[in-house]
Amino acid sequence: MAVGAHPEPESAPVFSPASPRYINRELSRLDFDERVLAMAEDPKLRLLERVRFLAIFSQNLDDFFQVRVAGLKEQVLAAVAVASPDGMSPLEQLKAIRTRVEGLVDRQVSIYNRELVPALEEAEIAIVRAEEVSKKELAQLHTVFREQIFPVLTPLAVDPGHPFPYISHLSLNLAVMVRDPHRKQQRFARVKVPPVLPRFISLIEGERFMPLEDVIALHLPSLFPGMEIVARHPFRVTRDGDLDDVDSDAEDLLAAIQTELRRRRRHARVVRLEVDPGMSPEVLELLTRELELQPADVYQIDGLLDMGSLVTLTSLDRPDLKEETWTPTTQPRLRGIAAEVPDLFAVLRAGDILAHHPYDSFATSVEAFIDHASSDPEVLAIKQTLYRTSGPASPIVRALIRAAERGKQVVALVEIKARGDEQANIGWARALEEANVHVVYGLLGLKTHAKVTLVVRRERGHIQHYLHVGTGNYNPNTARIYEDVSLLSSDSDLGADVTELFNLLTGYSRQSRYRKLLVAPTNLRLGITQLIEREAVVGGRVIIKVNNLIDQEIIDALYAASQSGAQIDLLVRSMCSLRPGVPGLSERIRVRSIVGQFLEHSRIFAFGNGGRPEYYLGSSDLMPRNLDRRVEAVVPVTDSRLRLRLQQILDVSLADDVLAWDLGPDGSWHRVPTVRGLNSHNRFKELALESAHGNGVGGLTHA
């Protein structure tokens, strides 16, 4: 097991904290968003890639406010006095967040206005304002407005006869002040920018686009005939979007979720108001009063509101401005499954398979596994957990429906509390039910986040289990941009474990012990903690790759292992509350984060075990919610070749000096200096291609 370079201190002073033992999770999340924003600032990236990262940053902030900020506001309103692990009260955290977000948004606006807009125009993709359109384009806009936009607009007046309208979550709006020329009275009206229409209206002369709200603003006299348009300003509202407080003990969880979704559409608390800086004090006061906000909830954006919508520009046919599209390769042992080697199950009986997405194809591995099971006459049952997928058109959902139509026992555990996908999951869950799939909505009080599929097959008079355990969702769309790992296996012990896990999920069971599987919330926390504690010796070795690391108990175990002599490398994409490199506390711990073309999403756990390394993969991050309040599945990888492959993934990731960032003892992140020029995403592509062309052994080569 590769050790890597860790500087050994000459002495080990006793830890005397000048700073908190833990880094604040909310500020750590904003640190991640800052790393995403830095990608948008990077002039070495192609232009539309920079635009994509700017859009992702905006979408990330939306998510942060509707969940994390909303939760802190609830604590303040409820007068919750409990401080975060780093010692900050909810109000102190909100103040710190405000300061950080202001700085980040200023950078975002500066990048957009001063760098990206001019660069786009130079590349003949111009985002224009009203004063920049030609007469020909203006005539075109009049036609487009009259035929396509005007019919779906609904101006809403605010006066004694018209109460202030409901402003929907993440909606873009125009605040319009109009004056009656006869009565000389000024009135406020709100015009919602319809989300069903394109965000940018294409103009005639080349790749020129006008924001939809600007097109509407240009035609406001058509919406308020006979009135004088005094002023108009865009604004945007963010509401509490978290459903975690739904009563999970409700007798009908599906009905409870639907009721809460309807309630939140009308009554969710507003947590952020984004406005044009030129908005008059009168209009701003009206909005803050009616939306029940404080001045600290208002953010002035001197540029385009909702920059997340810029992602639509990345679909333009401009390959010269984008990264070259990656076409995943088929894992070597799965080639020819549909033709020369039609029996995928025979391949799995010969040994487990590990796929590394998106470098290894999701379609020819995970989708092929489920599709093969749906059509195989000897398959008796398919059981699967579904957290997020691409809906009824998903190849996986279609395969489950076909299997049910062919008389197989099909069970789908659908997590209808998957944030942001609640309504979509309810919709395709009903489509599955209509096809006679047994749909289960999970355990009371727990989200089911595990990524597990079980196939039960009749073979020569006995029952054989085949299974998939992964780190990513069963979603072919995200599988093209999320980095994940999948294990396909016919291991009998794992098959028995997964069978018992599904019995727990679909029936009544107090199952708490498994042969190989680590399952939250029963034995996963204890299992990971014991594995870390076993490495708490001189020469001990731990490598963990996760999305988030904020659990205090796990962090304390890592601190203790470091103090006992273990060398620890952590690859943490987003939030990390552990403070590395602190003498006497964590000097043998290094934390890195990789931000690049693909979203790092896999969870891999490696332990030195005295020279006999052990490896695990699964769905769980190291957070209290994952370890204590979700159903998660983490599986050991026992095949020696697959262990080498996992170690290769970790080695390449740790050697990255192009996309990688280091976390310092003071909690600040810094880019890793480029020496070798190793971009892990590009290296994984090279390894996949080498494997596809038969070079190396299953793609196992040096980093």
Catalytic entry in 233, 357, 372, 449: 449
Rounded distance, CA 370 to CA 357, Å?
A: 17
- b/e map of 640-659 (b: 16 or more CB within 10 Å)? eebbbbbbbbbbbbbbbbbb
Instruction: For residue 91, give every residue at least 6 positions away whose Cβ sits within 8 Å of its Cβ, in sequence order, or none.
Output: 76
CA distance 68 to 593: 21
What distance lies between CA 26 and its chain's CA centroid?
16
Exposure string (b/e) for 434-473, b if CB count within 10 Å is 16 or more? ebebebbbbbeebbbbbbbbbbbbeeeeeebbbbbbbbbb
Residue 58 CB coordination number (10 Å) = 24
Q: Which has the closest alpha carbon to 452: 520, 507, 403? A: 520
Q: Are strands 630-637 and 518-520 parallel, antiparallel or unpaired?
A: antiparallel
Phi/psi at 200 (nearest 5 deg)?
-125, 130
Instruction: Establish whether 449 is a catalytic residue.
Output: yes
Q: How far apart are CA 333 and CA 639, in angstroms?
A: 14
Q: Which residues contact 702 (CB under 8 A, 6 or more apart)?
A: none
Q: Sign of the CA dihedral 254, 258, 261, 264?
A: negative
Contact assessment for residue 399 and residue 379, using Cβ atoms and an 8 Å cutoff: no
CB-CB neighbours of 557 under 10 Å: 20
Signed CA dihedral, 95, 101, 107, 112: sign only:
negative
- Hey, how many other C-beta atoms are within 10 angstroms of the C-beta on 670? 9
For residues 517 and 618, what is the distance between their CA atoms, to the nearest angstrom? 10
So which residues are the catalytic ones? 449
